[in-house]
Amino acid sequence: MWYQDLQSFVTALERAGELLRIKAPVSRELEITEITDLASKAPGGGKALLFEKVEGFQFPVLTNAFGSERRMCMALGVRDIEDLVSRLRNFMELGAGKGSKSIFRMLKLGMETLSFFPRRYRGKNPPCQEIVHIGKEVDLSKIPVLKCWPKDGGPFITLPVVITKSLKTQQRNAGMYRLQVYDRNTTGMHWHIHKDGSHYFQEYREAGKKMPVAVSIGTDPATIYAATAPLPRGVDEILFSGFIRRKPVLMTKCLTVDLEVPAYSEFVLEGYVPPNEFRKEGPFGDHTGYYSLEDMYPVFHVTAITHRRNPIYPATIVGRPPMEDCYMAKATERIFLPLLQIILPEIVDYWLPWEGVFHNITVVAIKKEYPRHAYKVMNALWGQGQMAFCKAIVVVNHNVDIKNPVNVLRHILNHTDFDRDLLFSEGILDVLDHSAPNPFYGSKLGIDATLPGVFEPAKDLPITKEVLVPRDEKIRLILRSISPSLNNHFVPDLGTRHRPILIEYSENDGFRPWQIAPILLEHPELKSFSIFVLCDRNVNLRDGSMVLWKIFNNVDPKRDIIIQRGRIVVNATKKDQRDGHTRPWPEDIVMDEEVRQRVRNRAKELGIEEFL
């Protein structure tokens, strides 16, 4: 099934029992976020939420529309994501085979491809221009843009399809870049340095020209997803949406800029970005679970706002996973596997854990063929598109079930020789990575957890069953004798060769984790542990997901992993100048307690008891 617009998707969600209408009045500041966060972290992703009465606004707000496996499949018009993966693989194998059957198949797929190209809306008045505000009539404050988290720099448009064109090639880009609303007619334009929108903007800057921009808010769901997809530069996201839908996206010309937008958009912002105007943008509670820091970004001047007669304003809330963006990213993981397999056919499957916020850790299963094959895969992935942002890559054999997270963790802890299986490298990092000493680049880690093959020596692994683990009280005394900064601890019962211990660190004596690490590794009564993980005081050591989230986000591999004779210390604590980290360290995203309690007290009125 395909959807012409967002409203038909909302209707389908409601018919499927996937939508909850919230009829009680709510505030766009924080309250919608708190309710959405409860829904997105409920089992299975809760439900999509339609807030019908947003205080001070006439338009309803939609959140969490993509926030489950089922809703993600509905958005893409498939029963299972693998159906779309199979279609994509068929197109990529267009020239495979010989004979008349192959020729017929190529002709059939070729004709189908032509039907995916975007087309011009032929009606007189496109739906997205039923209501028009130009010039002095432009007022962004009429749109219920959300302030998501307490320390956000202001309200942010979080689900926009930002449409631009290359000055040099006229190739279109439809990307998703957040917009901080400054006043009635200007916003920030959060173009990350590595993204296509920023690349095209640099062309205009070099030419000294202002850049025309159009922003569609509330397109059909396939187009919203396509704007998030990591397509190669020059591949039109609108065309990709047509492929997903099996129907072309109907486009219409803007009124004040020379660009086209999806005709069935709920809202459209038209305008331009000057070549040399920058303004402070942020902070913003981001998908990493931390606030991305303030920085200078281009400014978008809005020359027109158009919208449907009765539009819905869609927004996404991001924060500590799992949230809605996790399900969108999981779809991307599946859909783009065939593309990786063209470049690296030895890849059988891969997995991007939620705790790694999709750019900090990747687990790859390969058909191993020769010694150190895993290193070849790691280096190749670090050179491919947005996989280049990945901070850590773990490679396992093809017969490891990577869909079972606990099984993967046990495999790594049973089959990794820390002295010879860790590859440290350097390269670009996602803009939102805060752990590296410098922005945009830092160290990377590859872990070869494959089994030894022909011509490879056996791995030197600990036999922990032969070493008794001290009792908890004894461990507590040992840790306190090393440093008063070491408080609680937890020993996960994983039954693996490498036995980990998680330790709470809160500075009490001036000693930093990197100074404590050698003492932990050398202490004779702690030899039963080969992995020491140091976490900050506010981390629940028994919450495995939280611990992994802290490790994947807070660790710069070269600086924060200390190795000594097959045993390691991982410093997952907050860093500062004493640790060689001169950049500001972002804060965890935490909702105001007063807002949390207010929402819970209104749970029955809001109809959200099922999410508590």
Q: Which residues are catalytic?
A: 286
DSSP character for 465?
A: G
Beta bridge partners of 175: 162
Residue 486's DSSP bridge partners are: 505
The CA distance from 104 to 356, in Å, is 44
The whole-angstrom separation of Cα 461 and Cα 38 is: 43
3-state secondary structure 187-224: EECCCCCCCHHHHHHHHHHHHCCCEEEEEEECCCHHHH
Provide φ and ψ at 468, rounded to 5°.
-75, 140
Which residues are CB-neighbours of 172 under 8 A, at least 6 positions away? 163, 164, 165, 236, 237, 238
Tokens of 356: 């790694």
User: Could you give the 3-state DSSP secondary structure of residue 429?
Assistant: coil
Closest alpha carbon to 220 in 197, 244, 196, 236:
244
Q: Is 461 helix (H, G, I), strand (E, B) or coil?
A: coil
Query: Is 483 within 8 Å of 510 (Cβ atoms)?
Result: no
CA atoms within 13 A on the CB side of 270: 24
Q: Tell me whether residue 491 is exposed, middle or buried, using C-beta atoms within 10 angstroms of its C-beta: 0 to 12, 13 to 18, 19 or more.
A: middle
Q: What is the DSSP letter of 231?
A: P
